[in-house]
Amino acid sequence: MQIFDAKSQYNAESIEVLKGLDPVKRRPGMYTDTTSPDHLANEVIDNSVDEAIAGYADRIDVTLHQDNSLEVTDNGRGMPVDIHPDEGISGVELIMTKLHAGAKFSNKDYTFSGGLHGVGVSVVNALSTYLEVKITRDGSIYKITFENGFKVSDLEIVDKAPKKSSGTTVRFYPNKSYFEKEGFSKKALCHTLKAKAVLCPGLLTTFLDKATGEHYNWQFENGLSDYLAESFGKNPTIFGNPFSNPFTCDIKTDDAAISFAVDWADDTAQIADFESDNHQDRAINSKANYLCESYVNLIPTHQGGTHVNGFRSGLLESIREFCGFRDLLPKGVSIAPEDIWQNIGFILSVKLTDAQFSGQTKERLSSRHCAAIVASITRDAFSLWLNQNTDKGEKLAQLALDNAKNRLKRAKIITRKQVKSGPALPGKLSDCTCSDPEKSELFIVEGDSAGGSAKQARDRRFQAIMPIRGKILNTWESESETLLASKEIHDIAVAIGVDPNSINLNQEAGQSDNIVDISGLRYNKICILADADSDGLHIATLLCALFLKHFFEVVRKGHLFVAMPPLYRIDVGKEVFYALDESEKDSIIRKVDRRKKAGKINVQRFKGLGEMNPLQLRETTIAPDTRRLVQLVTPQDKQYQQSGVDVFELMDMLLAKNRASDRRRWIETKGNIMEIL
């Protein structure tokens, strides 16, 4: 039991205000990848790439010095050196010392850019023992230096420069105390620079290692196709003639630009290992090392996101349509996303005017509207090409059908809900038609009204809906034998196909010898879907407690998720945004204000899921391409071991009947905390 000091005081003096770059130094992992300083290098390189995207630079030079400092030089416009009218300091000093300061919040100076948070290069400054910036513009060379994020020399002119020359050079020394590895990965840097050259045609990128004398340069005119073909090597592909000749597409719209190259290896092809030794630099296919990379504004998105979801959906719709037109689908066989995702190799590059990332490391795109844009463009372009190249289209369709047949042979068949068959499943369960539990999902929805909307919003092929009424029983201290007396809990147990079995709190989680058999589990994903308000969060907490305590194996094996419906809808002219909570709503409004969009801002707060129409619920919460799901993980998982949080102790304090005094103390001391890791 946690011991609280009765004499401890919580008042205004307890509140800390972190200023300048202190938040980065205190919690560097929130702003960058602390495994190695490679991400710092990417932040500086990305700033130079943004100049190239905007058309102001055509060369980026990276030099790794013998003292482990890194120097990045571009021939762009050069950082601003004039005095900011409001802050009273030079533009370069403002960029380097202030979080959320930059020229990329609006589209005035950069139509497409990766630096949307305004914290990237200031994080580099905060986590470097020394950083030097040289700027060439207006016929002069300027210099300013920093140590541990603090300015140590003012901006000054150090030399003259040719009138037509311009650019920026940043040299920094990473502070090794913040990183697990103090050195840069040369192969990772080379891979990044090559990818930038591929994705930005005409851009010349170079790398020089002063210690070894190694020097490389990259420049591509037809980058994507050559890049993907190189990864396949001499192995035959579906579109090969006889080797890889990928299908490529390059389309621009008013607010996006989409380019991709895609091809499939045949069953016997083995893709040569790509030159990067960092597996996080690419998405690896489950069966072979096929090159699968995605980028947003030339920033690698290692974890994918809505643009990859839309790309996959567009390809799937095209192939399904092609098979339907040519009557290639056998009875009882349908092509699933994973059937086309095997043997695939692709490079996807998307440029957005207002990209939303899941975090500062920008490894996953979360912009919902991007999925529909990419899916539509991919579907139209690929469908047209398949019907113009029917021989290659039929070869691809056969590959997808073979994968589908193999999947069905391996699948464990589950009998879905039928009127004349038993045992009886819960009456409120609207089951899916998919007989493969690995592809099916169950949404446990709060309330009949929300359940009705969810039934209309779902894809009935693989998504099942089961409404429950109000707040379920607090089962934290209940015995499993008594649980089934509750109709709601009985219905949940029958629907998922697993009997409850309590976890003993006196045993270390996950170490019990009594492992419950969940082979009868009827769904691969069980998603808790409740309102975004406090009542909905209470219901979600009770359901989480039920599964953690009585269906522990379901949680331990990664089957339990919590859906994240929005609490607010923000309309700005014809644009629509959704926000999960108050802070995200405020962030969206600030961003809209910076862009100075025309039109009145109208904010709607959803009272509940039932207030959302099925189309809104599908887009924001249920559709796999655009929803947000949080997976529940068990206390022995790595992130919990690192955090030191005893989850069972915390849940016991929050839910146990005899711990009201502990809850009161916790609310008094930590009730203002919005997120506990």
Q: Which residues are catalytic?
A: 446, 531, 533, 535
Distances (CA, A) of 452 to 407, 448, 458: 32, 6, 10
The amino acid occupying position 79 is M
- With left for phi above 0 and alpha for psi between -120 and 50, is residue 625 left, alpha or beta? alpha
3-class DSSP assignment, residue 673: coil
Those residues with Cβ within 8 angstroms of residue 155's Cβ, 6 or more apart along the chain or in another chain: 81, 90, 92, 93, 142, 143, 144
**How far is it, in rounded angstroms, from Cα 53 to Cα 49?**
6
Give the H/E segment covering residue 256: strand 256-264
- With left for phi above 0 and alpha for psi between -120 and 50, is residue 447 left, alpha or beta? left
Contact 40, 123 (CB under 8 A): yes
The amino acid occupying position 615 is L
Exposure string for 318-340, b = 16+ CB within 10 A, e = fewer: bbbebbeeeebbeeeeebbeebb
Those residues with Cβ within 8 angstroms of residue 546's Cβ, 6 or more apart along the chain or in another chain: 472, 475, 489, 492
**How far is it, in rounded angstroms, from Cα 58 to Cα 197?**
10
**How far is it, in rounded angstroms, from Cα 352 to Cα 259?**
12
Measuring CA to CA, which residue among 363, 345, 195 is closest to residue 284? 345
CB atoms near residue 273 (< 10 Å): 11
**How far is it, in rounded angstroms, from Cα 8 to Cα 20?**
29
Q: Are strands 344-352 and 291-296 parallel, antiparallel or unpaired?
A: parallel
3-class DSSP assignment, residue 544: helix
Contact 526, 442 (CB under 8 A): yes
Those residues with Cβ within 8 angstroms of residue 145's Cβ, 6 or more apart along the chain or in another chain: 130, 131, 132, 133, 151, 152, 153
Distances (CA, A) of 581 to 50, 59, 278, 469: 31, 42, 36, 24
**How far is it, in rounded angstroms, from Cα 144 to Cα 103?**
20
**How far is it, in rounded angstroms, from Cα 275 to Cα 277?**
6
| DSSP label of 90 | B
Give the residue ranges of DSSP H helices in 389-478: 390-410, 448-457
**How far is it, in rounded angstroms, from Cα 66 to Cα 136?**
25
| DSSP label of 479 | -
CB atoms near residue 210 (< 10 Å): 14
Q: What is the CA radius of gyration of the chain?
A: 27
CB atoms near residue 217 (< 10 Å): 14
Burial class (CB in 10 A: 0-12, 13-18, 19+), 536: buried
